[in-house]
Structure 1
Amino acid sequence: MNTFPPPGFTRTHSAIPGIEVYMPAAEKVEHQEVVLFRCPQCGGDRAYNLAERGLTCTSCGYHEPAPQAAVGRQAQSFEFTGETMERVAHGWGEARTDITCQQCGGRSTAPAKMLTHACPFCGSHKVVQRAAPQDVLRPRFLAPFQIDAETCQRQFQTWLRGHWLVPAGLRRKAQASGESLSLLANVSFSRPRPYSDAPFTPLYLPFWTFSADAHAHWRAEVRKQRRVGNKTYFYWTWEQGRLRQSFRDLLASGSAHVNPRFLHRLYPFDLEALTPYAPAYLAGLRAQAYETPLDEAWDKARNFMRAEMRRRCQQQPSGPTIRNFAITLDYSDESWRYILLPIFLATYTFNNRVYQVLINGQTGKVAGQRPADWHKIGLIALIWLLLSGMLIFLPQIFLTPDTLAALIAAAGFFLLVAGFILLLFLIFTALRMDDD
């Protein structure tokens, strides 16, 4: 008697309820052997050195360059099939510790021999540690760090003192601070620090990249006009058209614990620097496995493509005024990659409040939170109010009611209105700095 399903087949998703569909089972991929980064000279531990871009022994300084085999945007992508998901490699390829924060829920991985741990997202030391599972989806490519910790610190200082609403005391510390961080990337910290020693954690964040060809067919009524003698008549006529657009390497973050607005401000990342994943790049560094699953990230990418195609199609009609616009959209050649991109992440405290800062590990671009000096805003508002009040009321007291007094009072009233608008602008700017 024949068995069903036959050997070598496995059940897959069925679009019709009650109908079972089977496909050839994917070959099982064995986990690659876990790599230990021992120094061949003294037997000590090695970590990835951001400054020299290679593995450096933490004991004797022995250095070995990292693999330099950048493939850029030619990096292999995958189709949306169940077989693909079964065939991709799993595990980090080295022994790592999985760290879960009990305060913010953030998860990341660190080298197994790193003794002290803190959450890189909120700075809390209330974390739970366990061995990182080797069945997680392995990223196929990553972009190595291009700047070191000292460059990162200088970028942060310049950014922090670059806004006049930052408290003067904090700006002076940024101006005077000459501290540098260790060039070795395995520096860790256990709590949010005050500005003067705010350390940056080199961290590989997970990203999905998506590529697809979008095909759109649109139809809309377009308003036309016709002149007959001295009169202008308006009428509506139907138009339709087609548009094809290729989208390549759309980025979607796989992290749920980094503010997406901060990440967008770090763009662009240089995807031409993508390199095949090797455990050596993560030696001594932290990394995060994806939290946003593939299907959810793909929905976000499709929503972006849909909005972009709609915007471009609405530019095609022969007139600027349209109604009853409808669009049909199809996709082809859809593919994805799971990659890691480099950032520096720090949390620092000011006036008992925690602030988060991100720096692009390739370009040094900075995004994050800066405290605003509300005392400075209040002082500006008070001075402006007093000046406006003097211009409005003093002429009424010391001058006879005439044209000059009226003009001075009008100027004071105008200054008061302008000051109110300026105050609203300052409050809005401060809230963006403080609460982003």
Structure 2
Amino acid sequence: MPVIDYKCPNCGSSMLFDSATGALSCPSCGRQDNIEQLPDPLKKQVFTENEVQQYHCPSCGADIVTEPETSAMTCSFCGSAVVLGDRLVGDLAPDLVIPFAISKAQAEEAFRKWCRNGLLTPAGFMSADRIKSITGIYVPFWLYELHNMVEVYANATRVRSYTQGDYQYTETRHFDVYRKLRLDYVNLPLDASEKMNDELMDKLEPFPYEQLKEFKTPYLAGYIAEKYSYDDEQLVPRAKDKTQPYIDSSVSQSLSGYSSVSYRDKQVNTTVSRTDYALLPVWIVNYDFGQKNYMFAMNGQTGKVVGKPPLSKGKITAWFAGITAVSLIGVKVISWALGGGFL
């Protein structure tokens, strides 16, 4: 059966993953099952490619209509949590998962608190309930282990000025510099979903990788899950680009102590030693304000919120005016302290 749901053995209700306890929980009778001790039904089933064309909810029998990338969802008719098993096997089978640690209610409250802290947002930004939707999504990520061998050839100088007798001297020493560095990166995350905004997903970092667990389908119960749009090889160029600023910073630190550095050649040889396919928890918030829709993302483990809220032109003008006024007062105070005047 390609559609998997979890029925409570006590009362028959649909069981959901509980972010507070980390267990598979029944909202009706309160039963809780330890996910680590549950057998994963995916390992008992065999699917062939393109075997399934239609999905039906095991609880109510309704047709399940979903996008091709979705692998877990809730039935729009009865609300049962369902997992589309054939989209999580073979090459599409995740290796790891970080479960949600923040509930939907906690995510909504954290988002409201974050909005209230916006000093430059419009006054009415949080005056009404404008949250259109808040959705828990397991976003597909590739976690890369990269090894970088870096070789740098550069010309550098050290400049020293000193006074001897009535003369001031400037001494410039020139150096031929060579550096060889090995820079390793573990669990470098890249979201692999075409739907997700890469900039938002990058800003959600860091995820607590000590919370990584072996993937089991019960963690998805009650949430939406996406399967990857890009495989790990397709995202290697992005992984290299993402590490480049850190490589540049490490090279720069290794050449500190010189007055100037001019690079002749810099070679970076990157080897991908391992990739893991992981599902990471993200709350997506759609917010309506000023007849526009704004999307925000929240790390489902840490509560970190990212996104671009609307800004108040009036508050921005007042803020700059305040900064200017403070600067002028500071100049005036310094002028008086030095015995001068201020016009």
**How do 1:256-405 and structure 2 match up within 5 A?**
256-317=194-255, 319-332=258-271, 334-377=273-316, 380=318
Q: Which amino acid aligns with 1:352?
A: Q
* Rounded Cα–Cα distance in structure 1 between residues aligned with 2:56 and 2:251: 51
> Could you tell me how far 1:306 is from its partner in structure 2?
4.0
**How do 1:192-207 and structure 2 match up within 5 A?**
195=130, 198-207=132-141
> Could you tell me how far 1:155 is from its partner in structure 2?
0.6
Are 1:95 and 1:132, in contact at CA under 8 Å, matched by a contact in 2? no
User: Does residue 1:157 correspond to 2:112, yes or no?
Assistant: yes
**How do 1:26-425 and structure 2 match up within 5 A?**
35-57=4-26, 59-67=28-36, 99-100=66-67, 107-111=69-73, 113-115=75-77, 133=87, 137-173=92-128, 195=130, 198-225=132-159, 230=167, 231-232=169-170, 234=172, 236-317=174-255, 319-332=258-271, 334-377=273-316, 380=318, 410=343
* Rounded Cα–Cα distance in structure 2 between residues aligned with 1:151 and 1:90: 39
* Rounded Cα–Cα distance in structure 2 between residues aligned with 1:98 and 1:236: 69
Give the SS at the match of 1:315: helix
Are 2:142 and 2:277, in contact at CA under 8 Å, matched by a contact in 1? yes
Q: Which amino acid aligns with 2:70?
A: S
> Could you tell me how far 1:312 is from its partner in structure 2?
2.0
Give the SS at the match of 1:204: strand
What TM-score does the superposition give when structure 1 sets the normalisation length?
Answer: 0.58
Residues 374 and 328 of structure 1: CA distance in aligned 2, closer, same or farther (over 3 Å): closer
Residues 227 and 373 of structure 1: CA distance in aligned 2, closer, same or farther (over 3 Å): closer
- Give deviations 1:371-398, integer Å, cap 9, x for gaps: 22335556x49x99xx9xxxxxxxxxxx
Choose between structure 1 and 2 for higher RCO, CA contacts under 8 A separated by at least 6 residues.
2
Residues 364 and 43 of structure 1: CA distance in aligned 2, closer, same or farther (over 3 Å): same
Q: Which amino acid aligns with 1:154?
A: E
Structure ID, larger Rg: 1
Are 1:310 and 1:327, in contact at CA under 8 Å, matched by a contact in 2? no
- Give deviations 1:195-230, integer Å, cap 9, x for gaps: 2x5442111111111112222222111124578975
Residues 333 and 156 of structure 1: CA distance in aligned 2, closer, same or farther (over 3 Å): closer
Unaligned 5+ runs, structure 1: 1-31, 70-88, 101-105, 118-129, 174-193, 388-406, 411-436
Are 1:215 and 1:245, in contact at CA under 8 Å, matched by a contact in 2? yes
Are 1:143 and 1:273, in contact at CA under 8 Å, matched by a contact in 2? yes
Are 1:140 and 1:337, in contact at CA under 8 Å, matched by a contact in 2? yes
- Give deviations 1:49-95, integer Å, cap 9, x for gaps: 333432233554433232289xxxxxxxxxxxxxxxxxxx999xx98
Residues 242 and 348 of structure 1: CA distance in aligned 2, closer, same or farther (over 3 Å): same
- Give deviations 1:265-310, integer Å, cap 9, x for gaps: 3221100010111111111210111123312322222233344333
Residues 315 and 376 of structure 1: CA distance in aligned 2, closer, same or farther (over 3 Å): closer
- Percent identical pairs in the alignment equals 23
* Rounded Cα–Cα distance in structure 1 between residues aligned with 2:77 and 2:85: 13
Q: Which amino acid aligns with 1:338?
A: Y
Residues 310 and 131 of structure 1: CA distance in aligned 2, closer, same or farther (over 3 Å): closer
Bigger mean CA deviation after superposition, 359-368 or 108-117: 108-117
Equivalent residue pairs, number = 297
Tell me the residue number matched to 1:415. Answer: none
Give the SS at the match of 1:287: strand
* Rounded Cα–Cα distance in structure 1 between residues aligned with 2:288 and 2:30: 34
> Could you tell me how far 1:163 is from its partner in structure 2?
1.6
Give the SS at the match of 2:253: coil
> Could you tell me how far 1:110 is from its partner in structure 2?
3.5
Tell me the residue number matched to 1:17. Answer: none
Tell me the residue number matched to 2:334. Answer: none
Q: Which amino acid aligns with 1:313?
A: V
* Rounded Cα–Cα distance in structure 2 between residues aligned with 1:307 and 1:369: 24
Are 1:253 and 1:297, in contact at CA under 8 Å, matched by a contact in 2? no
Could you say which structure has the higher helix fraction? 1
Give the SS at the match of 1:243: strand
Give the SS at the match of 2:234: helix
- Give deviations 1:347-383, integer Å, cap 9, x for gaps: 02112110112111111111223222335556x49x9
State the Cα RMSD in Å: 3.8
- Give deviations 1:393-423, integer Å, cap 9, x for gaps: xxxxxxxxxxxxxx99x5xxxxxxxxxxxxx
Q: Which amino acid aligns with 1:152?
A: A
* Rounded Cα–Cα distance in structure 2 between residues aligned with 1:152 and 1:34: 28
